[in-house]
Structure 1
């Protein structure tokens, strides 16, 4: 079992997810009664939540998602193809999101808006995720947890390998562009990042379908 085999890493990742919650309780008296937990494209707060939800609710929810992803992996029919590195990558996603949420939410609540550029750090985070995942995609074998999971990629290993070699290159390029866009003010960086993610996902998906049609046995 993947979870049993990687138990120590899983426990460590759960602890990391809850670190912002522990920090929030230490900062409790310094936080306002209503804490901004959602921000618009301009980086300005547009939704507020209770202090308890901001300190505990968010991170307990992330922890629940993290545990769910770990459990679902155990039911993957192709879980034998999920190596330890790929599994660790899956387990790192929620901890990174949790830490990012903690820094952004507490930084804003404590008056560090000028220091913490929400748009910039959102793009940096998205860009790093794209680059890291893009680096792993070509090494990823068929599975139902991570990758471009289309009927024709899951049905044919050659199609899967072709699609993920291409996707890996596009995702790395997209990650670099996403980070660079965070440093400019001419276009909405987060909107542009979403566009890039759609493009670098659609191109390999379309290419994989063309590959499927070209190599389909009649």
Structure 2
């Protein structure tokens, strides 16, 4: 299976989402619930026309964007080194959006379920695969933990992404554990994500400065 086949899978998922909107649209109310609070209670809605086509349109846009990025990246050859993982991320991300879309349609058709918990479970799986991609990613301008210091050094990039991949996988596991804690579940996702961002940014700066010091020491 090559890149064309994998993107065709993602495209098929987007088409299926559009087909669902077309088939179920007549049975849905004029305004669809599209937002829920941390307790899983509906907290916002959207006109049917917008809600039906928001996710299919977003999926198509993102697939197109992900197809173009490796072509315009000055380090596109590095993306080629982990292209299989990149492509499967597109498929998994598109599938995640599909299930969010399907969940919104199902909820508004009268099926009752804890939408927030379903969303968090899906996000956990997406984050876990993101962790896998990070451990495989090579330095580029669009995919990964991009700080001034990771983009300036292959060594810093590799070390930070090794740590970041582990932290994303841990965040995914904590998000699943959080499902056992009701209204607090969202914090089992948000707090580790924030911590991951802070730690990886700080770690990239620390590593880069250490490399600079080592280089200066060798010169002297």
Normalised by the size of structure 1, how large is the TM-score?
0.87
How many aligned positions are there?
211
String of CA shifts for 1:36-75, please: whole Å, max 9, x gaps.
1222222222222222222223311331133123223310
Deviates more, 1:147-156 or 1:30-39: 30-39
Q: Which residue of structure 2 aligns with residue 112 of structure 1? A: 111
- Asked whether the 8 Å contact 1:20–1:55 carries over to 2, the reply is no
Q: Unmatched 5+ residue regions in structure 1?
A: none
Q: Which residue of structure 2 aligns with residue 210 of structure 1? A: 206
Deviates more, 1:173-182 or 1:86-95: 86-95
Q: Which residue of structure 2 aligns with residue 195 of structure 1? A: 191
Question: CA 1:90–1:136 in 2, change beyond 3 Å: closer, same or farther?
Answer: closer
Q: In 1, Cα distance between the equivalents of 2:54 and 2:172?
A: 30
1:21 and 2:18 correspond: yes
1:171 and 2:168 correspond: yes
- Asked whether the 8 Å contact 2:124–2:171 carries over to 1, the reply is yes
Q: In 1, Cα distance between the equivalents of 2:58 and 2:126?
A: 21
String of CA shifts for 1:147-186, please: whole Å, max 9, x gaps.
111111111111111111111111111110011102222x
String of CA shifts for 1:102-124, please: whole Å, max 9, x gaps.
222112101112xx312211221
Q: Hey, which bits of structure 1, 4+ residues long, moved more than 4 A?
A: none
Question: CA 1:195–1:18 in 2, change beyond 3 Å: closer, same or farther?
Answer: farther
- Asked whether the 8 Å contact 1:181–1:189 carries over to 2, the reply is yes
Q: In 1, Cα distance between the equivalents of 2:194 and 2:67?
A: 26
Q: Unmatched 5+ residue regions in structure 2?
A: none
1:134 and 2:138 correspond: no
Normalised by the size of structure 2, how large is the TM-score?
0.87
Q: Which residue of structure 1 aligns with residue 181 of structure 2? A: 184
Q: In 1, Cα distance between the equivalents of 2:187 and 2:56?
A: 25
Q: Name the Cα RMSD after superposition.
A: 1.9
